Amino acid sequence: MRPLRILFASGGWAGEVVGGGYKIATELAVHMASGGHDVHYLAPSPATDVAPVIFRDGVTVWRYPAPRHPHPTLATSSST
């Protein structure tokens, strides 16, 4: 099988933030990279001083500053 280029987009990298979804995405990305695939992972950074691109456990991790406030369209609206 020919190696694939794979992109994961997640709300965080396991170990930096709490959440089962992050753990599943992180572990799957690492597993795919260990199989010889070119894996990239896009996630916000909880810290402001993190390098924008790091290589971690065989995965190229692309970071961007986490939004301070949710986008207005994502806010829960209340009925009146």
Over residues 16-72, the pLDDT tens digits come to: 877 788 899 999 999 999 999 999 999 988 777 778 899 999 999 999 887 777 666
63, 50 contact by CB (below 8 A): yes
Cβ–Cβ contacts within 10 Å for residue 60, how many?
Answer: 16
The answer to the question of residue 9 being in a domain is: yes
Q: What predicted TM-score, i.e. pTM, was given to this entire model?
A: 0.78
| Structural domain of 41 | 5-66
How is residue 7 written in tokens? Answer: 């992109």
77: which DSSP letter? P
Question: Looking at the predicted structure, is the pLDDT value of residue 74 above 80?
Answer: no
The answer to the question of residue 76 being in a domain is: no
The answer to the question of residue 71 being in a domain is: no
The answer to the question of residue 74 being in a domain is: no
The answer to the question of residue 73 being in a domain is: no
**Total domains present in the chain:** 1
- Residue matched to tokens 């806010």: 75
